[in-house]
Chain A
Amino acid sequence: MNWELLFQLTLNGLIVGALYGVVAMSFVLIYKASQVVNFAQGEFLLVGAWACWWLLTTFQLPFIAGFLLTLVFMTLFGLILQVVVLRPLIGEPVISVIMVTIGLSIFFQALMKWLFGVFAQPFPPIFETNKVNIAGLEVQTVYLLSLAISLVIMGGFAWFFTVSKHGLAMRATAFDQQVAQSLGISVRQVFAMSWAISAVVSSVAGVVVGVVNGVSSALSFYGIKVFPAVILGGLDSVVGAVVGGLIIGVLENVAHFVDSEFLNWGNMFQIAPFYVLIIILMIKPYGLFGTKNIERV
C-alpha cells in the first residue's frame, strides 16, 4: 500500500474540506437566517473568482488590492441580490424561493460564460514558490494560504455569532422573527446582511480555488458539493457545516486513493460524497448536528 500517497491525499482532503466547510458555512448562514435553500451558492464562488480575475488581469492590480476590491464588490452583490430578488419573495412558498435560486444559478453561470468565455483562465502567479515541503509532503503554497484563510473565517464566524451584536440579532431572528422584531431587530437588515456575508465568504473560497485550478464554470460545482457537507452536518448548524465539509473533503480524497490503488473504476471520488448524502438522509436525516424539527425541502 502506498502510505505516502494516502497521507498526501488526506492532507489535501483536509485542505479542500476546509474550503467546503467555508462554503457550507455561508450556505448555512443564509438558511439559518432567512430559511432559504440557496442553490446559487456555487455561483457566488464563480462570480467572486471572475471578478477578482478580471481586476487582476485587466487593471494589473496587485493581488491584495484586487482581492479587497472583490470583497467590496461581493458585499454589494449579496446585498443587491437580497434586496432586489429575494426580499419581494418573503412570505412566498418555499418551493418558489428555491426555484428562484435555481434560476439565479443558471443566470449567473450563463452571464459569466458570456462575459469571460467558456475556457478556464489561470490567475497571474501570486507566490514566488508554488510548492513547499512540510514533513516530506509537497503542499501547494496557495493551499496553505487557503487553510489559513479558512481558519480565520471560521474563527470570525464563531466570534460573530457568540459575541457581536449582529450575530446575536441573527440568531434571534433565526429562532423567531416575530420576537426579534419586538426587541427592535430589523429582520430585513438581518436578511440582507446574511446574504452579503455569505456572498463575501463564498467568494473568498472562489478566489482560492481559482488561484489553484484556474477560473472556470467548474467552480460552481462547489455549490453542489456543499449539499453532502451540510446534510451530513445538519442544515442549520454552523459547526456541522465545518465538520461536514472536512469529512466530505477527506472522503473524496480517500475515495480517490482507494479507486486509483485498488478498484480502478475511474471517477469514484466525484460521486462518493453523494452516496454519503443518500445514506445520511436514510439513517440520520437531520445530520450530525442539525435541529430535529427543521423542515426538509
Chain B
Amino acid sequence: MQTTPMLEAAHVSLRFGGVRALTDVSFAVRPGELFSIIGPNGAGKTSMVNCISGRYRPTEGSISFEGADITSLRPNARAGLGIGRTFQNLALFGHMTVLDNIMVGRHHLLKHGFLTGMVYWLGGAQKEELRHRREVEDIIDFLEIQHVRKAQAGTLSYGLRKRVELARAVALRPKLILLDEPMAGMNLEEKEDMARFIIDLNEEWGMTVIMIEHDMGVVMDISHRVMVLDFGKKIAEGAPDEVMANEHVRRAYLGEADEVLVDPDEAAPVS
C-alpha cells in the first residue's frame, strides 16, 4: 500500500562554496515513523535537518512535506505547516522562564495579536489563553518538568534544559518533529528518560520523528528505520538491524578495511 510520505527529500545537494555538505540525498519518511539519521561527525546530518527546517536552502533537489513542495519556504512558514525542531547546541531563551519558553512555541497557534489582545475579555482572548495554558501544562506534565515551571531556563541543569527545549518544540504541535542529538551529553538515566519521551511522542502523540543521534544503542532500539550518511552521501537506509549488518556502514563507522571514503556508486542500498 502506497501512502503519501510525510516528508520526502529528492536528490538534495548542498554546497558551501567548494565544500559539498550533501550530495544527492533522497529519502522519504512515512507518517508515524520514527526515522533516525546517523553517521560520523561531519557527515551532513545536521545539514540535512537544516534543509528540512529551512535554515539552509538545498543547492539542488527538492523537499516536500505532505506532498507539497516546501523547498523555497522560509523557516517560520515551515513551522506554521507543522515542522518543529530542537537544536544540537541548546538554544533556549535563557532569561525567560520555562513557561515563557514553551509559550513562544505556541506563537503561531495564538490567534490573538497585539490589538485584539487588548480587548482581552471581550474578544475571547482570555478563553484562548486558558486553553493554551492547559495544553502547555499537559506538555509540562508529559515531560515531567512541573517543578521547574517558573524557573529561569538558563539556571537549569543540562538534562532539564534539553527537556525544556523538547517541550518548546512539542508546544508547536508539529506533525513532524526534528530532533538534533536529543541525548548528547546526557547520563544513562537521562538518556533512558529521553528515549521514553521520544517513543511516547511518536506513539501516543502521533508525531512523526526524524532524529539525529550518536548513541547507537538507543538508535537501534527505538528507530523504525535508519539512514546512514557519510561524507554527505547516503550509504544505507533500512531497518536498524539491516543497516548494522551493512558492510559500508561498518566501514564508515569503524574505519575497517582500506577504504574509508565510500563511493556512492559502490554503495548498495539495503532495503
- Name A's B-contacting residues (CB within 8 A): 160, 163-166, 168-169, 171-172, 175-176, 178-187
Q: Would you call A165 and B107 a contact (CB within 8 A)?
A: yes
Residues of B with C-beta under 8 A to A165? 107, 110, 112-114, 117
- With CB as the reference atom, state the residue of chain A lying closest to B83: A182
- With CB as the reference atom, state the residue of chain B lying closest to A177: B75
Pick the residue among B93, B94, B108 that contacts A184 (CB under 8 A). B108
Q: B172 interface residue, CB < 8 Å from A? A: yes
Question: Could you pull out 16 A-B pairs where Cβ atoms are within 8 angstroms?
Answer: A164-B114, A165-B112, A165-B113, A165-B117, A169-B104, A169-B107, A172-B96, A172-B104, A181-B54, A182-B169, A183-B84, A185-B76, A185-B104, A185-B108, A186-B74, A187-B76
> Taking the nearest CB of chain A, how far is it from the CB of B109, in angstroms?
8
Identify whether the interface residues of A are mostly helix, strand, loop, or mixed: helix
Instruction: A178 to B87: give the CA distance in the assembly, Å.
Output: 10
Pick the residue among B84, B110, B112 that contacts A182 (CB under 8 A). B84
Residues of B with C-beta under 8 A to A164? 113-114, 117
- Chain B interface residue number, banded: 20 to 34
Q: Would you call A183 and B104 a contact (CB within 8 A)?
A: yes
Listed residue (B53, B95, B117) with the most chain A CB atoms within 10 angstroms of its CB? B117
- B78-96 vs A, Cβ < 8 Å mask (1 yes, 0 no): 0110001101000101111
Ranked nearest first, the 9 interchain pairs of A and B with the lowest CB-CB distance are: A184-B108, A184-B79, A181-B75, A179-B91, A175-B93, A172-B104, A186-B76, A165-B110, A181-B76
Residues of A with C-beta under 8 A to B79? 181-185
Instruction: A166 to B114: give the CA distance in the assembly, Å.
Output: 6
Q: Would you call B76 and A184 a contact (CB within 8 A)?
A: yes
Residues of A with C-beta under 8 A to B104? 168-169, 172, 180, 183, 185
Residues of A with C-beta under 8 A to B74? 181, 186
Q: Would you call B172 and A171 a contact (CB within 8 A)?
A: no
